[in-house]
Structure 1
Amino acid sequence: MSEIHTGGCQCGAVRFRMEGVPKDVSVCHCRMCQKAFGAYYAPLVAVGTAHVTWTRGAPKRFASSNFVMRGFCEHCGTPLTYEAPDGLSLAAGAFDDPARLPPTIQFGIECRLAFADQIPALPARATLDDLDDAPFLPDVVSCQHPDHDTDDWPPEGSP
């Protein structure tokens, strides 16, 4: 049986299915990926010979260079793809179960921010341990799409 991974954007307007084993799972530190993801690095799943199907909607695309297109949800802005002459990569965090796709290599290390390696050593707190500074946290109701395929989205009565 083929390996199957599903995922999509934050709002659920775009969903995908990847069948097969990815070429690799990486973290890219290049400045272009930092800006595209709004983060210190971009976790990416290189599709390789796996097959990707857009099961709901499709990403909008932005040419971030003369060789690279970046796909994202036009409704919620979730980064979804990195598309270059060497193939398609999907945003690792957009998968329903990203823990199944741990990174195995880093790229663009010349732009790696010096403090990125120190993040695991920082003090850490669980979300609800921050109630003094953010007392609204127990009342948060997520409007994000669930981490699984659904027949319809958004659900009836959602904001």
Structure 2
Amino acid sequence: MRYEMDVLEQSHVCHCRMCQKATGGLFAALVGAKKDQIRWTAAPPEEFWSSNLAKRAFCSACGTPLGFTCDLPDARQYVTIGSLDHPEDAPISHQYGLESKIPFVEFCESIPGERTGARPRQCPTSSRT
């Protein structure tokens, strides 16, 4: 799977249980852009609905999680920072889902964060103005 992005926005980690389960990791590291600023340069990835809000993209050949899109009008599309050719270009600026952060995970302690579990029907990484 290959893609191109015009910009990198809202670089963050999410500790929510949905992201933990979707990536099989302790958190998801994601960066976004407007949907029209990400282009799949080969066949698009496979997708599945992981909730009533989030559609997750993954490589059908190897299963690698590639990101997600929220089903909200102003939502961004997100890709995993680890799938970038240059992940160092997407420094983490925020944390979400702190209510589900695994206690022994100690990194990004100085990065601002918020709890997101109390907000039903809102994608934690949708566009904010």
The answer to whether the 8 Å contact 2:14/2:27 transfers is yes
SS at match of 2:82: helix
> Cα distance 1:58–1:50, how it changes in 2: closer, same or farther (>3 A)?
closer
Match for residue 67 of structure 2?
Answer: 81
Which residue type is aligned with residue 87 of structure 2? P
Which residue type is aligned with residue 43 of structure 1? A
Matched, 1:19 2:40: no
Match for residue 156 of structure 1?
Answer: none
Matched, 1:94 2:83: yes
Which is richer in helix? 1
- How big is the shift at 1:98? 0.4
Unpaired runs of 5+ residues, structure 2, are: 108-129
- How big is the shift at 1:49? 7.2
> Cα distance 1:61–1:50, how it changes in 2: closer, same or farther (>3 A)?
closer
SS at match of 2:106: helix
How big is the alpha-carbon RMSD for the aligned residues of Structure 1 and Structure 2? 2.0
Count residues with an aligned counterpart.
Answer: 106
- How big is the shift at 1:87? 2.0
Match for residue 21 of structure 2?
Answer: 35
Which residue type is aligned with residue 62 of structure 2? C
Larger-Rg structure: 1
- How big is the shift at 1:23? 2.5
Which residue type is aligned with residue 111 of structure 1? S
Match for residue 31 of structure 2?
Answer: 45
SS at match of 1:80: strand
Flag as ranges the 4+ runs of structure 1 deviating above 4 A: none
